[in-house]
């Protein structure tokens, strides 16, 4: 199996469960498989091949993969006090001194929002605010100043939006989020994508 793809599918299955029947054993088996991919340092091991690497967006290194897997677990209501999550969050905290990758920073902001870590969340969101692109009431992020991938900017901006709105948003957060939403809706094409 592939670590990223397994996390993607189990995350999707967990969200779809309220609409269609998905065997809970399959979700538990996938979660167990992912747990066995956790390394001693708490990060998750990359394994398997992915035939279309464009699917995984900005997930390209151990920290980003670990953040993605951790987000999947937290979205499935795994407690941040669970031993697997405890180790994973410790691994991710180690990476907070290097915020050079905007995608990873946005994903980490979302993860620490889900985990209820107010301090880490505030640190990450503060950094993201300094690298945000502000144009005519729009607010978005890109990986680099010369970024040509609109889909990556959409994904980064969406993680920032999720981080802002997933923890009792203030009126200021809602105002901030509206700039992101305006930009995101402008990226939608005629077919909805």
The ranges assigned to domains in the chain are 1-97, 118-193
Question: Cα(137)–Cα(154) distance, rounded to whole angstroms?
Answer: 16
Using one digit for the tens of pLDDT, what is the confidence trace for 73-126? 999 999 999 999 999 999 999 999 999 999 999 999 999 999 999 999 999 999
Quick one: the chain helix, strand, coil %, rounded to 5? 60, 5, 35
Q: What is the pTM of this model?
A: 0.91
């Amino acid at each position: 199996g592939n670590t990223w793809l397994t996390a993607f599918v189990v995350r999707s299955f967990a969200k779809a469960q309220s609409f269609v029947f998905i065997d809970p054993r399959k979700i538990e088996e996938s979660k167990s498989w992912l747990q066995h991919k956790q390394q001693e340092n708490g990060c998750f091991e990359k394994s398997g091949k992915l035939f279309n690497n464009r699917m995984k967006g900005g997930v390209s290194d151990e920290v980003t993969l670990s953040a993605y897997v951790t987000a999947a677990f937290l979205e499935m209501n795994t407690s941040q006090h669970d031993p697997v999550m405890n180790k994973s969050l410790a691994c991710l905290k180690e990476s907070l001194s290097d915020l050079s990758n905007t995608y990873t920073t946005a994903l980490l902001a979302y993860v620490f929002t889900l985990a209820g870590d107010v301090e880490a969340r505030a640190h990450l969101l503060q950094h993201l605010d300094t690298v945000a692109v502000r144009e005519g009431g729009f607010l978005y992020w890109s990986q680099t100043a010369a970024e040509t991938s609109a889909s990556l900017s959409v994904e980064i901006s969406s993680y920032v939006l999720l981080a802002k709105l997933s923890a009792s948003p203030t009126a200021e957060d809602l105002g901030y989020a509206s700039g992101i939403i305006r930009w995101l809706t402008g990226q939608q094409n005629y077919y909805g994508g």
